[in-house]
Amino acid sequence: MRTEHRPSAATARPTPWQWLYYAFGGRLPRRLSAWVLADTTGPGWARRHLTRSVVQLSPLVALCMVVPVGVGYRLTAALGGLVVGLMYSLALMVETTEHRVAKAGYPAGTAARLREERAERARTARVEQRHPYRVGGAGSFD
């Protein structure tokens, strides 16, 4: 199991083909584990998850657009499939990203813990910015 959870700025990135394989649920090489962790925990992780979902749904949308029926039916089927797929993707977003992180070799719960730590640091920074006398936890709100 991995013990290092902080990716460096020089983290290796996947090639476009590797990213496409990853977007469809494939496991990346072990050397890209830090990138997977950064992808699923860094700022914008939900947006990247939805991007991967749209890529996964694109073959279905393309198939709907070539069925030999009226344009209205094709657009309705494509949009309906996309909306339903994205709803399921949003409902299972945390579980899906945890599964990606586990496939990269990290313990279960790592992604959620790192996202919560980042959110806590942001909350603390906002409080310290609004109330400078509380820097470092000193002082009180009384």
Separation CA 111–CA 41 (nearest Å): 6
Give residue 136's pLDDT: 60
Give residue 31's pLDDT: 93
User: What Cα–Cα distance (Å) separates residue 123 from each residue in 31, 89, 119, 133?
Assistant: 33, 27, 6, 16
Give residue 2's pLDDT: 45
For residues 43-52, b (16+ Cβ closer than 10 Å) or e, as one string? eebeeebeeb
Give residue 8's pLDDT: 53
Separation CA 41–CA 115 (nearest Å): 5
With a cut of 50, which residues of the chain have pLDDT below it? 1-5, 7, 9
